[in-house]
Amino acid sequence: MALRIIFMGTPAFSVATLHALVEAGHQVVAAYSQPPRPGGRRGLDLQKSPVHQAAELLGIPVFTPLNFKDPEERSRFRALDADVAVVVAYGLLLPEEILNGTRLGCYNGHASLLPRWRGAAPIQRAIMAGDRKTGMMVMKMDKGLDTGPVGLTREVEIGPTTTAGELHDKLMQVGAKAMAEAMAKLEAGNLPLTPQPEDGVVYAAKIDKAETRIDFSKPAVDVHNHIRGLAPFPGAWFEAGIGGRKERIKVLESEAAEGEGHPGEVLSDDLVVACGSGAVRLVRLQKAGAKLLASSDFLRGTPIAVGTRFS
């Protein structure tokens, strides 16, 4: 017998799980997503979230409350008479009345190996820290931030050149399958929950714009991890003097390279740049308002001399 599920999610990362639950035969009685936000070319049109759009195409009613402070919102949630709520990157904190508003509670698909990287940006933080593995966990939610007991874990390797975008897409698919499997176990009464260990707690704070600038004084491995952890969005960047003015340049791909010099110094004509120790080669770059280019194409339009210092 299928579960009656309330689905709660917002970005594209969540959509695969929504589809997996529907394809598994569950009855998704409603979808909750963050309200439409200004978007479009001029930022004037209200854009529905990816989950909102996907749910409408599936014929699922969509609700977009700003929060759950209104008693009517809480009552509407309970009145859906759901067995369980599934939460994947919803973006709102859920009060206890919502956490307890279904027969079996709320289950969250979280993109880390908890208790490491609780919080908003686990994918980026794992790469930026140089982690070799991460994963998806299905956790029963409680009132803490990603502190609930875990019902299912799927590990994923992080390669030395894996970007946040690549890891995002892999975890999106792994997470969808994991949640569908967890809901099958829950329906069968066979989803044991294990409390998270008290040791190893690390928080994945939201990425702040102030930390996206590349610090070439750090070791090359840290610079490389910083670049790939912020690719493709929001993108790590540096400034360079080009044509008599400073330009901001994003770097979306890098690789380890041989060389030593002053941090930020261009060491070769294929954009090997010195770091605090070691060097990195900048592989794909983008000037503000321009196309993303391979370094060879970038340098044809924007020559950068050996000895130039990036900051």
**What is the C-alpha separation between 142 and 92, in angstroms, rounded?**
14
Q: Which residue has the tokens 């929504």?
A: 18
Enumerate the β-bridge partners of residue 119: 204
**What is the C-alpha separation between 291 and 100, in angstroms, rounded?**
48
Strands 4-9 and 84-88: parallel
Enumerate the β-bridge partners of residue 277: 219
DSSP designation for 90: -
- Going by C-alpha positions, the residue among 231, 196, 229 that lies closest to residue 113 is 196
What number of other Cβ atoms are within 10 A of residue 301's Cβ? 10
Question: Which tokens sit at 53?
Answer: 């759009």
Q: Which residue has the tokens 């990425």?
A: 207
Is 114 labelled a binding residue?
yes
Number of H helices, E strands in the chain: 8, 16
Is 113 labelled a binding residue?
yes
Strands 27-32 and 4-9: parallel
Q: Which residue has the tokens 């998270």?
A: 196
Question: Which tokens sit at 201?
Answer: 């707690």
Is 65 labelled a binding residue?
no
**What is the C-alpha separation between 102 and 283, in angstroms, rounded?**
50
Separation of CA 281 from chain center: 25
The one-letter code for the residue type at 307 is G
Enumerate the known binding-site residues for (6S)-5,6,7,8-tetrahydrofolate: 112-115
Binding residues: 112-115
